[in-house]
Structure 1
Amino acid sequence: MTRRVWAVARLAAAVTIVAVIVVRLGAGPFLTGLRSVSAGTLLAACGIAIVTTSCCALRWWLVARGLQVPLGFGTAFAAYYRSQFLNSALPGGVLGDLHRGVRHGRDTGDLGRGLRAVFWERTAGQMVQIVVTVAVLATFASPVRGVALPIAVVCGLVALVAAAILRRGRMRYATSPPEVSTRSRRWARARLAVSTDLRDGIAAPRIWPGVLTCSVAAQAGHVVTFLIAARATGASLPFVHLLPLVMLVLLAAAVPTNVGGWGPREGAAAWVFSAAGLTAAQGVAAGAAYGALVTAASLPGAVVLGAGAVARRRRGRAPLTPVAVPSFRPHRTAAVLATEGARDG
């Protein structure tokens, strides 16, 4: 499957989910969620976004440091706001991260490492999100508690397969004879690079504690934001009952098949809220309110994006630096030129 087909398939999946919700419930829950956003909730979401963005930027800075890619925290903070805005405004939910990796790679002169730093930073965050979500689902009693075991089993199998592939790749690359095909050696080198990135960029003793802490803190900020949205739309469940639902909805929202953030988040919210004794409409309203809060909180990224475009345009129109050109003085005789030439020689 080509990248274009895969992108179209993800977009179609998101549109289908939203269309099914509208057909079944109408547009009312979406409008209810948007109307529930007040100045107070919006201010709270923006304040939380500053903290979560700082945590994510610090996590990126740590991973880039492990991969030996130069990155300042201020640059990371601004770029992360920009990527969040692009993720919320563009379909797929990952184009902002791709843009962030490409810009970082070009600025540092190493496009491959720049992209890999962003990939591993996001992967580490999502892995921590999965682990914490499974732990919460297994700890707190809820109607969706049984989902924890399938998620844990699938993630465990994926981790085991990935570890076996990486181990085999390192051994094959180290012992492969010269007559092995170029394609096989290329795959072996790729697997070796992945294992090296994991060792230096995430699992290093000076890296992983910070990555873990930043990921948990960022996830907590997203959970609090969704809880605010749920309360604003009238969800009256106690915190211990609502927390597992929110964690599962946010895990579904991390699936990169959305249109501006819409799609799996509202579908998952409709299911888990109805399973908990609320209504599917309440779940969709909470998801829509959360989407509106997150989008509004990411608007500083639009300012960063616009400022960067203006700066690049100014650099492109900068006047040329004047170059000194020797003047021609006709009164200089051939004898003088010959004398200066002999002195210079």
Structure 2
Amino acid sequence: MVAMTAAVGARPARAAPSAARLRAWGRGAVGAVILVAIILQAGAAPFVRGLAAVSVPSVVAALLLTAAATAAAAWRWRILAGRLGLALTWPQAVSAYYRSQFLNTVLPGGVVGDVHRAVSHGRSVSQVAQASRAVVAERTAGQVVQIGLAVMVLVALGMSAYAPAVGIVLLAVVVACAGVVVAAAVSTRARDVVHRELDAVRTAFGTVGTVAKVVVASLVVVAGHVATFVVACLAVGVDAPPQRLAAVALIAVLAASIPFNIGGWGPREGAAAWAFTSAGLGAATGLAASTAFGVLAMIAVAPGAAVAAASAFHRRRATRAAAVEESS
């Protein structure tokens, strides 16, 4: 999300998507390297097993779970956008969120869809910077709740073996925050930017009721993704207690939020292989489950493709109408 903030925060609206795409392709390349390294190490068999495990019942379950998670995420976005003074209807929020998830799934980096969502909404209300803040706040809140939930669940289950994975994510957050603090300390301009963004955060999360709603929405989102991963585990035939499935699913879903991936693939597979090995289920099984999850996730956000196509059609039609009007 730091990269996304830089992409759409203080840049001109036209320049922001281009800069974000370049960074996304760079992060996607890292994800591709990770994925290739895993394939070379483990072979193609686990991935084939995961693909073959996808069935109609698992697809239906993924579609329903993703619909619930998307509705909750759209609600979270609407809450924070409204706090920042931005109009956003339910149909707009849900359709834009589906499109965002679809773009994040098929494009490298995992954030291009969010950048597009921010810029698109910002242009529709003539406030790109404020709309970008709403999207960054919404995604960041979701990740904070996800990390907190993972820590609490793993501690409650006594699964200390997974502590290093969560620790790495927390370390990355601390390093990012330290970078912001250092930049603010040495640069007056950076300090002004930090103060401005902190004011926006205080406005967005300014009431206890808002924070409670955002937390509830985020819990539903995480539960939907974790449940979808559990569906993938069951599809590939994983035989393990529910608490163990929940633990490995949390680790894999948490790793999927790392923005160094190619369409969601890369760190997720590495984390799944490690988590399944630590749980005594085998790395190959983890890779198979992660593969099934990746396929189910892509199918589940397919409605976003229709939204993206409709948006492109409307843009082309508006461009043609404008050209005809200018020529007449």
Normalising by the smaller structure, the TM-score range is 0.7 to 0.9
Q: 2:324 aligned with 1:307, yes or no?
A: no
What residue is the counterpart of 2:121 in the other structure? 104
Q: Which moved more, 1:72-81 or 1:135-144?
A: 135-144
Amino acid at match of 2:149: V
Equivalent residue number for residue 22 of structure 1: 39
Counterpart of 1:88? 105
Aligned-pair CA distance for 1:11: 2.4
1:68 to 66, 75, 85: 85
Query: In the alignment, what sits opposite 2:250?
Result: 247
Shift of 1:288: 0.5
- 2:200 maps to 1:197: yes
User: Whole-Å Cα distance in 1 between the matches of residues 196 and 264 of structure 2?
Assistant: 32
Is 2:25–2:108's contact at 8 Å kept on the other side of the alignment? no
Asked if the contact 1:143/1:276 (under 8 Å) is kept, the reply is no
Q: SS of 2:158's equivalent?
A: coil
In the other structure, the counterpart of 1:286 is 289
In structure 2, C-alpha distance between the alignment counterparts of 1:155 and 1:269, rounded to whole Å: 19
Aligned-partner Cα distance in 2 for 1:140–1:243:
10
Cα deviation code 1:20-44 (max 9, x no counterpart): 2111111111111111010000011
Identity of aligned residues (%): 40
Q: Which runs of 5+ in 1 are unaligned?
A: 173-182, 324-345
Match of 1:34 among 46, 51, 58: 51
- 2:265 is matched with 262
Distance between the aligned counterparts of 1:148 and 1:295, measured in 2? 25
* Pair 1:78 & 2:81 matched: no
TM-score, with structure 1 as normaliser: 0.82
The structure 1 segments of at least 4 consecutive aligned residues displaced by more than 6 Å after TM superposition are 1-5
Q: CA RMSD in A?
A: 2.8
Query: How many angstroms apart in 2 are the aligned matches of 1:156 and 1:310?
Result: 39
Give deviations 1:249-302, integer Å, cap 9, x for gaps.
Answer: 111111001111110111111111111111111000000000000100101000
1:134 and 1:151 in contact (8 A); partners too: no
Name whichever structure is richer in helix by fraction. Answer: 2
Deviation at 1:91, TM superposition (A): 0.4
Range that drifts further, 34-43 or 151-160: 151-160
Deviation per CA, 1:77-111, whole angstroms, max 9, x where unpaired?
10000000000000001000000001011111011
Query: 2:165–2:251: 8 Å Cα contact kept in structure 1?
Result: no
* CA drift at 1:192: 1.3
Distance between the aligned counterparts of 1:214 and 1:198, measured in 2? 18
Quote the residue 2:68 is aligned against: 51
Q: Residue 177 of structure 1 aligns with which residue?
A: none
Q: Which runs of 5+ in 2 are unaligned?
A: 4-18
Aligned residue identity for 2:136: F
Matching of residue 237 in structure 1 with residue 254 in structure 2? no
Structure 2 counterpart of 1:82, one-letter code: R
Q: What is the CA–CA distance in structure 2 between the aligned matches of 1:187 and 1:51, rounded to whole Å?
A: 39
1:60–1:13: structure 2 CA closer, same or farther, 3 Å change rule?
A: same
Distance in 2 of aligned mates of 1:306 and 1:96: 14
Counterpart Cα distance in 1 of 2:92 and 2:20: 30
Give the paired residue count.
309
Could you tell which deviates more after superposition, 207-216 or 188-197? 188-197
